[in-house]
Amino acid sequence: MGKFDAGFAGSVALITGAASGIGLATARRLAAEGATVVIADLNEGAAKTAAQELGADSVAFDVADPDAWLETVEGIKNRHGGLHLVHLNAGITTYRAENSDAPRLGFDLSAVPLENYRRIMGANVDGVILGARACIPLIAASGGGAVIATASAAGAIAFPPDPIYTATKHAVVGFIRSMAPSLEAQGIGCHAIMPGIVDTGLLAEGMADQARTLGIPVIAPEEIAEAVVGAAQSGKTGGLWICLADRPAFRYAFNPIDGLGLPETD
């Protein structure tokens, strides 16, 4: 029997980047399902407001900070007695959403400020790996559960408007696929959520409307929350869940490489 077969009531869920967008939608969904939710975000004010709305706990920290991770997990253990699900969701693009520092056309790698590069690697890659590192022991000690990361469809395709973002999401997908067998042995399911374009503050101003005009479907954050719940309850592990508009999330698989000589794990 899977950890969440009977639902999420009585479980403790930590969601990063939960003050807005996909994380907030997931927090709302899990709170509605009866979970004790911990909203984590860099934006302290927005995290507190969201927590108040949901009757949730909140914590403000940078997911790129390894010490903050350890403190956060210790705090959750003390306040809530355990942890069953972590949604490693906080993430950013190379240029800020307001687009003030972004070039208008193409992607000029040499023009990317080093600070932007460090910031996105910190949020999107360190935030997932350090988060998993800090949370896994407590999830295991709490009887198992799930580690779910928000990657992106850009974790499996080329996305020329932001190659650095694409690299971070490929990193998340590789990490999740490779962690799954070790975590399964500890009763922890491990999944990557891979959405197309979602209508959140991550998008540059007007981008959602522009996408719709071009016939590109834009997904509501609530649909991604549904995918997170579905992955946690799938009874499987190592899932790469593609999320598109108006249809249930479905599993993606890479092509196997014949002749490599290594065992395929998924």
Q: Which residues bind ligand NAI (CB under 6 A)?
A: 16-17, 19-23, 41-43, 62-64, 89-92, 123, 127, 150, 152, 195, 197-198, 200-203
Taking the least distance from each CB to ligand NAI, the nearer of 41 and 188 is 41
Minimal distance, residue 261 CB to ligand NAI, in Å: 34
Minimal distance, residue 222 CB to ligand NAI, in Å: 12
Minimal distance, residue 187 CB to ligand NAI, in Å: 26
Q: Hey, CA dihedral for 202, 232, 86, 120, is it positive or negative?
A: negative
DSSP character string of 125-167: IIHHHHHHHHHHHHHHHTT-EEEEEE--GGGTS--TT-HHHHH
The distance from CA 45 to its chain's CA centroid, rounded to whole angstroms, is 21
- Residue owning tokens 């499987």: 236
239 contacts 233 by C-beta, under 8 angstroms: no
Taking the least distance from each CB to ligand NAI, the nearer of 97 and 140 is 97
Taking the least distance from each CB to ligand NAI, the nearer of 195 and 238 is 195
Q: Mind telling me the catalytic residues?
A: 165
Taking the least distance from each CB to ligand NAI, the nearer of 73 and 198 is 198
Minimal distance, residue 250 CB to ligand NAI, in Å: 16
Query: Nearest to residue 162, comparing CAs of 129, 130, 123, 116?
Result: 116
Helices (H) and strands (E) in the chain, counts: 8, 8
Task: Please list the residues that pair with 16 across neighbouring strands.
Answer: 40
